[in-house]
Structures are given as structure tokens and as C-alpha cells.
Amino acid sequence: MFVWYTDVEERLPRLLECLDALCESMQEDGKSVPRWVTQGIPPARAAARGYSGLLPQDWPTWVLEKTRRFTLEMAVACIPLGDLAEAVQKEGCWSPPEEFAWQWATVAAQLGSKLGEIYALVLAARLQPKAYGTFLRDAFYFWRAQFDNKADFWMEGRDRSAQCRSLTLEMGLQAVARLEDADLAQEVNGFIRKNGTDVPLPLFPLRCMLERVLGRAEITADDTRPRRTVLQSMQAPQKDEDRRGLERFRPLLRPLPLVTWPQSLSWAKLLRQEFPWMEAAICALERQQVLAQRLGADSLRLRPLLLLGPAGTGKTRFLRRLGETMGAPTLFVPLAGANDNMLLKGTARGWSSARPGFLVEMMLERQCPNPMVILDEIDKIGLGRQNGRIWETLLTFLEPASSSRVLDEFLLGEVDYSAISWVATANSLEDLPGPLRSRWEIVRVGLPQAADFDRILENVRRDVAREYGVDTVVLPNLDATVRDRLQRAFARNPRSMRDLRGVVYQLLEIQAMAERPSGRNGDWLQ
């Protein structure tokens, strides 16, 4: 047996005395005592008195079976959601109430109840969250073997296989939580898959721990990539519909591979060719990579960088290309006019719109704990207080001391944002709150020059080709005269590439119309 030896002669009479007091208290409060309890007490008391001093195996068979069944049913009735659980908790017979159930379970086990033995093990684990690790592991392996060997689980008058399977699963989960053994975690996960066992809501935190250990188990010896766990914890839901929503985020409990710094500075060369007027920003980013690699920091993480400059100078496009050339997933967050803080913090459970923060969703989708997040037009952020102010939450994300444990309102767990590379754009610092402004390394973006026209035009053509999903070679070629006039106009006023982009789109459309076969023009007009 996997339970402690129990002195039935001493414990059973004492438990019956407590049960008498509990029944009396319930009646005084106007509550009815379950009939099976009142009917079972006298035979159990007679057995305790009549066979005192005898070993259970020496009791008459019918007395042993009846007493064993009663003590088992008492154990089940006293656990949370049992028939007597509420009364036990209110009357304070035992603290915590599970201990009362455990006492009954150990007596049932000593009387030969296999189910009582399993309950005693599980309840002991609940009472001592950090103890009995190896004990529970061995018990899990033992009871799992019973299922593998097609053992008979007809106990105490009915088929208890589903009940035993659920309790065996809990033993395994409890053992994993204590030992954090990768091999054991895989065995427990295999048990879940083989039996199609759904993990009950109360065991949700244990399932989260299983996912965390499984994540470590899946990392092979030759996988040297640095990893980070995004979701540090996740509180159990109260409703099944909430659980279905939370199940999707279990992968974030496992360590995910981090994007690493590029092997060379070739990305900087590419960006200089495309954005020669962004030299100051490129130099600042180069310095960050050189220092990080000099200090042995393999995972990509930029210090918060804010590009400040006039509208239409290509700040957002530059940051998108930065993510592409560095090989980092890029998340775009437009902040102009944004007021609802739930975008970042998540919406609490219970609301119809309940969901986690936007960035958590994106990290799950990309399976990446250190994406590059572009906060576009941060200077136009809303300053309203609806559900809290966004810029104040951003302070938490940007501060190294607090960014590793940020509470998400939906997951009710701590999210690690500390590996994110934050970059932003702004046209002015005038409306940016001072505390938020101080978190950024601010780089002023210069205006493009006339000499940059060819490169800018090529960038615009590449954007058009990407939008239509084609290669740039299939785009209409602009007439040389039109191209020259466009270049002279840009040289006079190179401020807005956005305006240039709009003109190029129109010219490409006109050129495409001009290149249409003449025989089709009439059809098009019709």
C-alpha cells in the first residue's frame, strides 16, 4: 500500500464522534443530513466497538465491506463539492476541510479500499503542496500500470474506473509539479492522450506546470538557441467557456526560442542603401549590436528607440525594414488617438469582449518572445483615462525592473515583456508626456536629399509590387521624360515621400492604361 499505516481502532471512533457533532450542528442550523449518513453511522459505530482489537481481515466479510464503503463515501462527501463539504468548512471540524476527508480516506484504505488508497494519496498531495514528490510519482506509475494491465476497477458496488483514472492523473500532475521531472512529464502527458482524459478545472494550475516542464523536455541537447518563457503563470478559470479561451495560450508557458542578433552587420549596409538619410539611426543600432555581442548577449533586444522627424520621411517603413533585415517578427501598433488601455493590459474575464493584451496574442501567433514592436505616432497617443491611460502602461513595459512580470487582466498571470525590442515614431515631442519621453533614445531623422530620389523611387516600386504580390520587373516602366520631371519636382521639395508615393501610384496606373492593347480600350470604356 502507498498510504500510511492507520490505527483503525483509534481513528474510526474519533471520526464518528466528529461526524455526530457535525450532524447535530447541521440540524441546529436547519439543514438536513443526507440519509445515507444517518443510516451508516450506527453500523460503523457497531463495527468499531464490536471488532476492536481485531485486524480488518479478521472482521466478518459483510461488516468489513459495509464499513469500508461507508468510510469511502464519507471521504468523497467531505472533499470540495461533496455532500458535506460546505458543512465541514463552516463548522470548522478540520482545518483545512480536506484533512477531514483525508482521515476518512486513510481508514477506507486500511480497510482494503483501493479507491480509498488513491483518495488518500491525492488528498495528502493537496494538503502538502511541496511534499511527497517521489511517493506520488511511484504511485502514479503503479496505478497507471493497473490501467495498462486491464485491471478490474469494480469497487464498492460499481465501476470506478473513470474516477480512478481522474485521480491517477492528478497524482501524476502533482508529482510533476513537485519534481519538475521531464521524463515524468512526458509519461503523464502520454497518459492524458491515451485515455482522452480532460483535466478538470481545479487542476488547471497543475496543467500549466506540466506544459512548462514539457517545454523544457522538448529542447534537445544540440539545440543551443536561447529561450524565454513569455507567460510566467495563469490563474485557473471559473467557467468552462473561460477555460476554452485560456487553453489556446498554454504554449506560452513553455520556453520559446529567442531571435538572435544577425551574425554580421550586413543589415546595416542594406538599410544604408535604401535609407541613406537614416544614417544617425543606423549608426545607433549598429553600436547596440556590437556592444551586445561583445558582452555575449546572443538574443536580439534593442534599447527603446524613437525616430523623431517630419511626417512622410519614411520612419515607419524604415522600422519595418529593420525588422525584416534583422530577421525579427515585427508587430505594428498604431497609437494615434488610442485611448483604451485594454489594448495592452487585456480585458478582464466576465466581459463579453474578454481577451488578453494585443501583444500577448501576437507573441503566441509568432511563437516568439522577443519580437520588434513598432509604436507608430506615439506623440499622438490619447491622454484619456478610459480603462487607465495607455502611456502609463507603456512605462511598465519599457522599465526593465517591471517589464518581466506584468499582470494581464484576462490571463490573470504575469507576462514577460522584457525581451521585446521597442521602437517608435513621432513627429514632435511637444505632446509626449515627460515620463514616457525619458524612456527612449531619441534619434532625429533628417530629410531625404535630391540624390536619394532613385533609391526612394525603387522603394516605392517595391512596395507596389509587394502589395500586388508580384516582382518589380513586371511593373510598368515610367517614361523617361515623366521620370525626369518627377525627379526635378522632388529635388525642389523632398519633404514628403508619402506624396511621392501617391504620385508614383497614379503614374503607374496611367502607364498601365497606355500599354493596354488598343483593341481592348473600347471594351474597357463600355
* Residue partners of 96: CB distance under 8 A and separation at least 6: 127
Q: Give the integer Cα–Cα distance in Å for 188 and 200.
A: 15
Question: Quick check: 78 and 51 in contact, CB under 8 A?
Answer: no
Strands 372-376 and 330-334: parallel
Residue 358: Cβ within 10 Å count: 16
- Report the predicted TM-score, pTM, of the whole model to 2 decimal places: 0.67
- Print pLDDT tens along the chain (526 aa): 455 566 788 889 999 998 988 888 888 888 888 899 999 999 999 998 888 778 888 889 899 989 999 999 999 888 877 788 888 877 665 667 788 899 999 999 989 888 888 999 999 998 888 888 998 999 999 999 988 888 777 776 778 888 888 899 999 999 999 998 989 999 999 998 887 766 776 787 888 888 888 887 777 656 777 889 999 888 877 777 777 778 888 889 888 899 999 999 999 999 998 898 899 999 999 999 999 999 989 999 999 999 999 887 889 989 999 999 999 999 998 887 666 677 788 787 777 677 888 899 999 989 999 999 999 999 888 666 655 678 888 898 998 888 988 888 888 889 999 999 999 999 998 888 888 899 999 999 877 777 777 787 787 788 788 778 788 877 887 777 777 887 777 777 665 666 777 777 787 887 777 777 654 444 433 3
The pLDDT value recorded for residue 176 is 93
DSSP 93-140: SSSSTHHHHHHHHHHHHHTT-HHHHHHHHHHHHHH-TTS-HHHHHHHH
The pLDDT value recorded for residue 526 is 37
- Residue range 240-444, CATH number: 3.40.50.300
The pLDDT value recorded for residue 171 is 92
Region label for 160, one of left (φ > 0), alpha (ψ between -120 and 50) or beta (otherwise): alpha
Residue 93: Cβ within 10 Å count: 19
Q: Give the integer Cα–Cα distance in Å for 475 and 470.
A: 8
pLDDT in tens, 301-353: 999 999 999 887 889 989 999 999 999 999 998 887 666 677 788 787 777 67
- CA-closest candidate to residue 398, choices 344, 322, 331: 344
- One-letter amino acid identity for 380? K
3-state helix, strand, coil in the chain (%, to 5): 55, 10, 35
Count of all residues that appear for the chain in the document: 526
Q: Give the integer Cα–Cα distance in Å for 53 and 62.
A: 18
Provide the residue ranges of all domains of the chain, joining segments of one domain with +.
12-44, 57-214, 240-444, 450-515
The pLDDT value recorded for residue 384 is 60
Number of alpha carbons in the 13 Å side-chain half-sphere of residue 470: 9
- One-letter amino acid identity for 373? V
- CA-closest candidate to residue 464, choices 372, 487, 456: 456
